[in-house]
Amino acid sequence: MAPAPLTTRREMLRRALAVAAASTLNPAGAAAAAVVTTQDVVAPSSSKAKGDVAASDVPSARPSHPDDPPTRVTATGRIIAIGDLHGDWRKTIGALSTAKVIAVNELDEVIWTGGDTCVVQVGDVLDRGDHEIAIVKLLRDLDKQARKEGGAVHMLNGNHESLNVCGDFRYVTPGAFAESALYSGLQEGELTDWDLLARVRYAVYRPGGPMALELAKNPTVLIVNDTAFAHGGLLPVHANYGIEKLNADVAAWMRADTTPDGGKAAPPFLAMGDSSSVMWNRTQSKEHFPSPNERYTSCRMLSQALEKIGATRLVVGHTPQLSGANCECEGQVWRLDVGMSYGVLNRPVQVLEITRDKDGKDTMAVLSEGGECLASYDEDGLPL
């Protein structure tokens, strides 16, 4: 049941932001928080998968946490990259079906059929669509199934995940407000109280809240074999800081970890603080460079960052590509956000498939709905 429409979207935003800005929840909000903090998303074990490696390039200022996300993993089979999903259940199923990693059985259950395939979703599951939590739960469940066959399903944190943990609900749909309320334990009859819906969502997604704890398990940067994945982009400053430490910092903030001085972990600036951060950066994800000089500078910075972290290429989302999935910088960056969500451009599904031959050479293929291969490229981004 969808909630009754609010008078204006602006009023819904005003109420949500007022809750997020408050230092404490009012009694009704506290009651909602008490409800939601007893809930949890069923998730796979926090133990690291085979092939994960510990932070080594830059030491962390705090001890590692058992629930810190992985930074480097090994894939023995195909690698599938999926762009921004933005709460669109139908396109999520479409992307997974295009990648040939799922089937739906007679009980309408989604079953993993991808064997040892490694799937990476590059962030922005949240906002602009109604089925955010359902998609998170689906991908977690598929990860559990995949790991039994040597595969995996990874989600990254994007800028819209960070916005929600910050309490910024500008892009949340009425249906997603309702979904988080039902997840917290509210009943359908309570979904007409928009003040309550905003308080509940804040409690669900604030640092230390149940969905923030779930998102804390997602890396911000992930390297699979020699392919790096990030939502927005990677600059030398991120690589120099250390991507293991960056992942740990984001997780600590989302978990509301206590710092040595007794405070709470702060939002990490390099991950999400401004337009040059990993989640917000568009240096590599913009579809067209305005000048040859900017292209040279962007590609040069990317090469430096990749060399520092030991990767060959980067796959990003974040910026819709009107021409479809594409590559630049001689194949060093792949841009994968095609605006497929109905809340963005409602474009056809595309996913990126990376396969490795017996000689260790990678081939990148852009797959469209139905599994059709639109184009294949070699490691230098040249068509095959």
DSSP 214-268: HHTTS-SEEEETTEEEESS---HHHHHH-HHHHHHHHHHHHHTPBPTTSSBPPPP
* 384, part of any domain: no
On whether both 198 and 156 belong to a single domain, the answer is no
Looking at residue 370, what is its pLDDT? 82
Q: Among the three residues 152, 179, 205, which one is the final residue of a domain in this structure?
A: 205
Q: Which residue has the tokens 């068509």?
A: 383
Looking at residue 12, what is its pLDDT? 44
Annotated catalytic residue within 86, 131, 154, 160 = 160
On whether both 332 and 183 belong to a single domain, the answer is no
On whether both 196 and 218 belong to a single domain, the answer is no
Domain ranges, residue 84: 47-166+209-377
Q: Tell me the C-alpha distance between 353 and 98, whole Å.
A: 10
* 256, part of any domain: yes
Looking at residue 66, what is its pLDDT? 87
Positions of the chain with pLDDT lower than 70, given as ranges: 1-63
What's the total number of domains in the chain?
2
On whether both 244 and 322 belong to a single domain, the answer is yes
Q: Tell me the C-alpha distance between 229 and 119, whole Å.
A: 11
Which residue stretches of 22-173 are H helix? 27-36, 89-98, 132-147, 159-165
pTM for the predicted model, two decimal places:
0.84
Q: Which residue has the tokens 């509301």?
A: 256
On whether both 229 and 189 belong to a single domain, the answer is no
End-to-end CA distance of the chain: 49
* 66, part of any domain: yes
* 42, part of any domain: no
Per-residue pLDDT reduced to its tens digit, 129-173? 999 999 999 999 999 999 999 999 999 999 999 999 999 999 999
Task: Provide the residue type at 359 as one letter.
Answer: D
Looking at residue 246, what is its pLDDT? 98
Looking at residue 167, what is its pLDDT? 97
Active site residue 131: no
On whether both 19 and 95 belong to a single domain, the answer is no
* 114, part of any domain: yes
On whether both 140 and 219 belong to a single domain, the answer is yes
Looking at residue 65, what is its pLDDT? 87
On whether both 183 and 222 belong to a single domain, the answer is no
Q: Among the three residues 151, 184, 205, which one is the final residue of a domain in this structure?
A: 205
On whether both 19 and 55 belong to a single domain, the answer is no
Looking at residue 62, what is its pLDDT? 56
For 359, which DSSP code?
A: T
* 90, part of any domain: yes
* 332, part of any domain: yes
CATH assignment at residue 95:
3.60.21.10
* 41, part of any domain: no
Q: Tell me the C-alpha distance between 210 and 238, whole Å.
A: 28
The gap from C-alpha 287 to its chain's centroid, in whole angstroms, comes to: 20
On whether both 224 and 319 belong to a single domain, the answer is yes
On whether both 20 and 147 belong to a single domain, the answer is no
On whether both 88 and 217 belong to a single domain, the answer is yes
**Strands, E assignment, 54-158:** 72-73, 79-82, 102-104, 110-112, 118-121, 152-155
